[in-house]
Amino acid sequence: MYKMKKLSFLISRALKMDRQKLKNTLEYLQKKSGRSKIWLIQDMLKCSVLYGAGYTDYKIAEMYRLNSAQRKSTITRGISNDIVRRMNDKAHTHFFDDKSEFDSKFSRWVDRPWLRFDQNTTKEELQSFLSKCSSIFVKPLEGSSGVGVHKLKNISDTESVYKHLKALGDSILEQTVVQHEALNRLYPGSVNTVRVATLLGDKQKGMVYAFLRIGNGGEVDNVDCGGMACRVDIDSGCITTPAADKQGRVFDEHPITGTYFEGFEIPYFKEIKQMCLEAMEIVPEVRYVAWDVCITPDGPRFIEGNSFPSHAVPQFAAHYKDGIGILTEFRKFIDC
């Protein structure tokens, strides 16, 4: 059954493939690896069949330089999809997929003003919400990868804001987070969040990994929108690697602020761990969640929880000097 699903997945991915993006990826990999395009295509196909890797997975994890044991330890789209399918009951993922439901369900740890905006929202309701905020973030009610997320700084004209939001459709509005000074030193232009994955696994339950995501010139830290990420040691709360992004760039220090990454200590990390470990029990039918945590001067707060976590952040090649990937951590919790 799994083999049939794997074959079906590979066929569906091939049919939806962006040919131009594949061409660009091949040209990038040819320059970086020194391999021919024919060799790379053959190796990509091999990794697709054996490990469920798409060409973006292949690029991000630099699979061309890995042996079979190392490749087996890399989380790919196919493996990630299978973990989500096995661990998360779709009947309960709406608590994470709908951002307003998430803010309600986990309000204890969200702890800031927010408003669901739809076609029934009145100007008076909007004005009441805006009166509590100096700026807001607007997010599509459903979606991922930071798509559609933007900040509104000038919210004094309720009529103008109302028209803007009406044109967008259903969304959630949240008071802008005041970020901890330490995170501002890294990069003040975005809210830099800690991505924490938890698993209610068959072998054990707990925290699988933690990464810090940092903006790089934009207002969001998401790696699909130009941000970068570093690994965080889940015991000490310290960054242990350089930052990396989806373009394959590696940074020892932030290119804008000059702040050095390795050794940087995440504030309130003990509280972040406690919050995520408590929250993972709230909807036990959704066993695998990636939590996005912001850090305020008063402690951690949830931005959102993801029932279909991105597998891009935990597979950047720069974070695994020995080529052994993040699946070794997952295997402490589940068979995969």
In the sheet that 228-231 helps form, which strands lie side by side, from edge to edge?
250-251, 243-244, 228-231, 205-214, 194-200, 288-296, 299-306
Mapped onto helix, strand or coil, the DSSP state of residue 179 is coil
Determine if residue 214 is left, alpha or beta; phi over 0 gives left, psi from -120 to 50 gives alpha, anything else beta: beta
Confirm if 279 and 109 have CB atoms less than 8 A apart: yes
Beta bridge partners, 42, equal none
Q: Digits of tens for pLDDT over the chain (336 positions)? A: 444 555 555 555 554 667 788 889 999 999 999 999 999 999 999 999 999 999 999 999 999 999 999 999 999 999 999 999 999 999 999 999 998 999 999 999 999 999 999 888 999 999 999 998 888 889 887 765 566 788 888 888 898 999 999 888 888 999 988 999 999 999 999 999 999 999 999 999 999 999 999 999 988 888 988 899 999 999 999 999 999 999 889 999 999 999 999 999 999 999 999 999 999 999 999 999 999 999 999 999 999 999 999 899 999 999 999 999 999 999 999 999
The CA-CA-CA angle for residues 285, 204, 314, to 5°, reads: 80
Q: How far is CA 128 from the centre of its chain?
A: 32
Q: How is residue 281 written in tokens? A: 């029990």
Closest alpha carbon to 137 in 161, 153, 118, 119: 153
Say if CB 269 and CB 237 are below 8 A apart. Answer: yes
DSSP-assigned states of every residue in 110-164: H-S-EEEE-TT--HHHHHHHHTT-SSEEEEESS--TTTT-EEE---S-HHHHHHH
- Contact of 103 with 97, CB cutoff 8 Å: no
Report whether 223 contacts 313 (CB < 8 A).
yes
SS3 222: coil
State the virtual CA torsion across 235, 241, 242, 245 in degrees, nearest 10: -80
